[in-house]
Amino acid sequence: MIKRSKIQTAIVYSSAILLGLVLLCPVLWLFIMSVSSTKDLTTLPLSWIPADISFNNYISLIGDFDSTSAESFLYALRNSLIVAISATVLSLSVAIPAAYSLSRLPGKRRSSLLFIAIATFMMPPVALVLPLYSAMASLGLLNTHIALIAVYCGVLVPFTTWLLKSNFDAIPIDLDEAPLIDGANRLQIIWYITLPIAKPALGAAALMAVLMAWDEFFYALLFTNDIRAKTLPVAIADFAAGRVADYGLISAAGILATIPPVSMAYFLQKSLVSGLMSGSVKG
Amino acid sequence: MTALSLKNINKSFGDIRVIQNINLDIKPGEFVVFVGPSGCGKSTLLRMIAGLEDISSGEFWIGDRRADQLPASERDIAMVFQSYALYPHMTLAENIGFPLRLAKLPKDQINNKVQEIASILQLEHLLDRKPGQISGGQRQRVAIGRSLARDPKVILLDEPLSNLDAALRLEMRIELAKLHKQLEATMIYVTHDQVEAMTLADRIVILNNGEIAQIGSPLELYQTPINTFVAEFIGSPKMNLFPASVNEKKSQKKSIQIIGSNDEFAVDTNQHPPQELQTGNQIQVGIRPEHLVPSDTGKIKGTVTSTEQLGSDTYIYFDSDTIKQAVARINGVASIRPGENICFAVAHEHYHLFTSKGNRIKPTVL
Ligand SMILES: Nc1ncnc2c1ncn2[C@@H]1O[C@H](COP(=O)(O)OP(=O)(O)O)[C@@H](O)[C@H]1O
Ligand SMILES: [Mg+2]
């Protein structure tokens, strides 16, 4: 441990607090908006503490099943969960063997393959959306989960492959050869050795994948048009698109939409701590 | 116990030939040590035996079975890596038992075997720990333990002691020798340390630039090194090589004179008249430091440049007329100062003769 002076400690802590405030303020304001009445939100100047607090917005989103806002919100939640989880699971199950082979198996052409994959990941969505749209249309996949899952996998596979490959690269090659001698085949090596050691990276990749799929707006907006396939970002935008935007309702939906990814991050945080490698090969 | 046989083995990485024409038969239960300077191809040769590296050309046999195409997992050969290569996320018990788990043995059998190995290697109290929580010497034991799990017939060890400190290295060396007797497994041990090679090996294979320089028991290599490379590699401090010339003697015999000294000795070239001993040829005479005995009538003369006192021995470094930094090793403490002139006598049976290119000449020294 490096000893820090009192002043240094104070600087470190005040910077951390400042950062926390900057990050949390919008969330806090979102929450305040979600429990305020429309009247409070339209009177100027705005106040931090609303005159009366009510959870009606939440009730109309998840409590009252007959309202249209609840219907569109709950369906969108379902769609988002299906799309995000399927896209993540699918892209990880492709990315793991791909990353392993890019990291471990010989052959010069492999690395250019990764480069091409990364290049497609770099392309802006607007460049791809038209051909994708007509392809989906002719396949009859518009307004389905499959369309979004396929598009998201196209984005997520290169990204997660690259993330996992750079982590596999850090695992010493001896840890592949030792199990080989012990009688393992490639799949067993990946399953028993590589993946457990790369667990933090795996957790990070899964989290990033879920977040990207969860937050994606552009493709979701264009490829879906009703509650059968609309995801949360699109549904929330719909709340704002009516004649009068109900800011309270939008905020409540926003708060609710953050709960699944935040809780996932919370449960994954234990596996995200690194330091698993210590003691394996000579220190 | 299984015999291994390497026939004309070659290995190239791209255009670079790393291993050249290796022919070697290893007997069941033998302890063979591959030794040589670093980069000479020891690890590559070992990895080809293990199946981690393809053989470019040649044949490899395990017993009476051709094995060059056999995958590593089917060779029944265990290996201890220089880096230990322990699985960081598993406890020591899981590490040692991993080969058995892959072989789908029932849990209680795995446990029994792990306990048995742990007691041989004194690891019982550590079995629940992870590799990150134990010392280097203990990690080394675990790595050995894992290699023992499947009762392998052949165990390969790649510089297993090079990451340990001197005291631990000595201790583990003795334990390895004991373990070899106890297990009766064939062991191939790679090291760049000639002391490890001399003390552990039944047979030593000296490698130089990817080729076998000499194969033999430790004493054979010490007493009859086939060339100056082996002569200088085996023994510490290393052998002194003095330039010498071949002179004609009246009685059909020849004599060899170490240049710059009046040390001239006769050799009988009648039995084996080697080309190398033509009159007038330049050759080299090798003398081990321990065979140089200080003596007032000694014929090898020099000026002491420095001394090293080891307590049990004294190393005397001296410059002779022809070579610098020659070294002599004397038992006990010798009170000799730098700058002094010194003379050494050598019993003639301790001379090693080499051609100017460094190959051993085998005449009978009279
Ligand atoms: N995978 C490889 N690709 C290219 N050259 C290699 C490879 N592995 C080893 N070499 C070369 O082969 C030679 C012998 O290496 P190695 O067997 O590791 O030597 P040692 O174990 O005796 O120190 C070295 O010159 C090394 O650079
Ligand atoms: Mg090596």
Are B249 and B228 contained in the same domain? no
* Predicted pLDDT at A171: 92
Q: Do the domain assignments include residue B364? A: no
Structure tokens at A227: 């509650």
Which positions in chain B have a beta carbon within 8 angstroms of at least one beta carbon in chain A?
50-52, 72-73, 77-79, 81-89, 98-99, 102-103, 130-134, 136, 139, 146, 149-150, 163
What spacing in Å lies between the alpha carbon of B259 and ligand 2's midpoint? 40
Residues B165-177 pLDDT 10s: 888 889 889 989 9
Amino acid at B292: L
* Predicted pLDDT at A95: 94
Are B229 and B248 contained in the same domain? no
Residue where one domain finishes, among candidates B206, B233, B260? B233
Are B216 and B251 contained in the same domain? no
Burial track B105-135 (b if 16+ CB lie within 10 A, e otherwise):
beeeebeebbbebbebbebeebbebbbbebe
A278 pLDDT higher than 70: no
Distance CA B174, CA B179 (A): 9
pLDDT-based confidence at A275, cuts 50/70/90? very low
| SS3 per-residue string spanning chain B | CCCEEEEEEEEEECCEEEEEEEEEEECCCCEEEEECCCCCCHHHHHHHHHCCCCCCEEEEEECCEECCCCCHHHCCEEEECCCCCCCCCCCHHHHHHHHHHHCCCCHHHHHHHHHHHHHHCCCHHHCCCCHHHCCHHHHHHHHHHHHHCCCCCEEEEECCCCCCCHHHHHHHHHHHHHHHHHHCCEEEEEECCHHHHHHHCCEEEEEECCEEEEEECHHHHHHCCCEHHHHHHCCCCCCEEEEEEEEECCCCCEEEEECCCCCEEEEECCCCCCHHHCCCCEEEEEECHHHCEECCCCCEEEEEEEEEECCCEEEEEEECCCCCCEEEEEECCCCCCCCCEEEEECCHHHCEEEECCCEEECCEEC
Are B102 and B163 contained in the same domain? yes
CB-based contact B150 A278, cutoff 8 Å: no
Structure tokens at B184: 């009766």
The least confident of A67-76, B111-120, B136-145, B208-217 is A67-76
A42 pLDDT higher than 80: no
Chain A positions in Cβ-Cβ contact with residue B152 (cut-off 8 Å): none
Mean pLDDT of the region B335-347: 90
Give the residue from B330, B327, B348 showing the smallest Cα distance to B258: B348
Q: Do the domain assignments include residue B14? A: yes
Are B108 and B9 contained in the same domain? yes
Distance CA B366, CA B69 (A): 53
Residues B28-37 pLDDT 10s: 999 999 999 9
Interface test with B, best of A174, A182, A192 (most B CBs within 10 A): A182
Higher pLDDT, residue A108 or A264 = A264
Indicate which CATH number applies to the domain containing B150: 3.40.50.300
Are B15 and B129 contained in the same domain? yes
Compute the nearest-CA separation of A123 from chain B (Å): 38
Distance CA A137, CA A134 (A): 5
* Predicted pLDDT at B236: 87
Higher pLDDT, residue B362 or A154 = A154
pLDDT-based confidence at A272, cuts 50/70/90? low
Residue B196 · residue B33 · CB < 8 Å: yes
Domain count, chain B: 2
Chain A positions in Cβ-Cβ contact with residue B131 (cut-off 8 Å): 278-280
Are B23 and B164 contained in the same domain? yes
What spacing in Å lies between the alpha carbon of B141 and ligand 2's midpoint? 20
Q: Do the domain assignments include residue B122? A: yes
pLDDT-based confidence at A2, cuts 50/70/90? low
Are B144 and B262 contained in the same domain? no
Indicate which CATH number applies to the domain containing B310: 2.40.50.140
Higher pLDDT, residue B309 or A59 = B309
Q: Do the domain assignments include residue B196? A: yes
Query: In sequence order, what are the residues at sequence separation of 6 or more whose Cβ sits closer than 8 angstroms to the Cβ of residue B279?
Result: B246, B247, B248, B254
Are B276 and B318 contained in the same domain? yes
CB-based contact B86 A279, cutoff 8 Å: yes
Mean pLDDT of the region A80-95: 94
Within an 8 Å CB–CB cutoff, is residue A180 touching chain B?
Answer: yes
Mean pLDDT of the region A52-76: 78
What spacing in Å lies between the alpha carbon of B42 and ligand 2's midpoint? 6
Q: Out of B52, B89, B130, whose CB is closest to A180? A: B52
Interface test with B, best of A108, A189, A194, A280 (most B CBs within 10 A): A280
pLDDT-based confidence at B362, cuts 50/70/90? confident
pLDDT-based confidence at A238, cuts 50/70/90? confident
Chain B positions in Cβ-Cβ contact with residue A183 (cut-off 8 Å): 73, 99, 102-103, 150
Geometric angle at alpha carbon B254, from B252 and B260, rounded to 5°? 150
* Predicted pLDDT at A274: 53
* Predicted pLDDT at B93: 95
Query: In sequence order, what are the residues at sequence separation of 6 or more whose Cβ sits closer than 8 angstroms to the Cβ of residue A70?
Result: A60, A61, A62, A63, A64
Q: Do the domain assignments include residue B277? A: yes
Q: Do the domain assignments include residue B365? A: no
Query: What domain range is B116 assigned to?
Result: 4-233
Residue where one domain finishes, among candidates B207, B233, B259? B233
Prediction ipTM score: 0.84
Cis peptide before A45 (omega within 30 of 0): yes
CB-defined site of ligand 1, < 6 Å: B 13, 18, 36, 38-44
* Predicted pLDDT at B240: 94
pLDDT-based confidence at A67, cuts 50/70/90? confident
A229 pLDDT higher than 70: yes
What spacing in Å lies between the alpha carbon of B156 and ligand 2's midpoint? 12
Percent of chain B with pLDDT over 90: 65
* CB interface of A with B, residues 6-25, below 8 Å: none
The least confident of A147-156, A262-271, B108-117 is A262-271
* Predicted pLDDT at B9: 94
The least confident of A241-255, A265-279, B324-338 is A265-279
Mean pLDDT of the region A75-83: 91
Phi, psi of B229 (to 5 degrees): -60, -50
Compute the nearest-CA separation of A194 from chain B (Å): 10
* Predicted pLDDT at A276: 47
Note the maximum CA span of chain A.
74
Determine whether A28 is exposed, middle or buried from the number of CB atoms within 10 Å of its CB (0-12, 13-18, 19+).
exposed
* Predicted pLDDT at A243: 63
Are B270 and B323 contained in the same domain? yes
Mean per-residue pLDDT over chain A, rounded? 84
- Considering Cα of B214, then B219, then B224, then B230, what sign does the dihedral take? positive
Are B303 and B331 contained in the same domain? yes
| SS3 per-residue string spanning chain A | CCCCCHHHHHHHHHHHHHHHHHHHHHHHHHHHHHHCCHHHHHCCCCCCCCCCCCCHHHHHHHHCCCCHHHHHHHHHHHHHHHHHHHHHHHHHHHHHHHHHHHHHCCCCHHHHHHHHHHHHHHCCHHHHHHHHHHHHHHHCCCCCHHHHHHHHHHHHHHHHHHHHHHHHHCCCCHHHHHHHHHCCCHHHHHHHHHHHHCHHHHHHHHHHHHHHHHHCCHHHHHHCCCCCCCCHHHHHHHHHHCCCCCHHHHHHHHHHHHHHHHHHHHHHHHHHCCCCCCCCCCC
What spacing in Å lies between the alpha carbon of B358 and ligand 2's midpoint? 26
Chain A residue whose CA is closest to B164 = A282
Interface test with A, best of B13, B43, B54, B73 (most A CBs within 10 A): B73
Percent of chain A with pLDDT over 90: 31
Among B10, B18, B233, name the best residue to mutate to test ligand 1's pocket (greatest count of ligand atoms within 8 A of Cβ). Answer: B18
Q: Do the domain assignments include residue B361? A: no
* Predicted pLDDT at A283: 42
Distance CA B299, CA B286 (A): 15
Are B268 and B166 contained in the same domain? no
Which residue in this structure is represented by tokens 């710059």? B260
CB-based contact B146 A182, cutoff 8 Å: yes
Q: Do the domain assignments include residue B366? A: no
Chain B positions in Cβ-Cβ contact with residue A196 (cut-off 8 Å): 89
CB-based contact A280 B85, cutoff 8 Å: yes
- Which domains occur in chain A, in start order? 55-281 (1.10.3720.10)
Residue B29 · residue B184 · CB < 8 Å: yes
Chain A positions in Cβ-Cβ contact with residue B52 (cut-off 8 Å): 177, 180-181
pLDDT-based confidence at B252, cuts 50/70/90? low
Residue where one domain finishes, among candidates B233, B254, B279? B233
Mean pLDDT of the region B126-154: 92
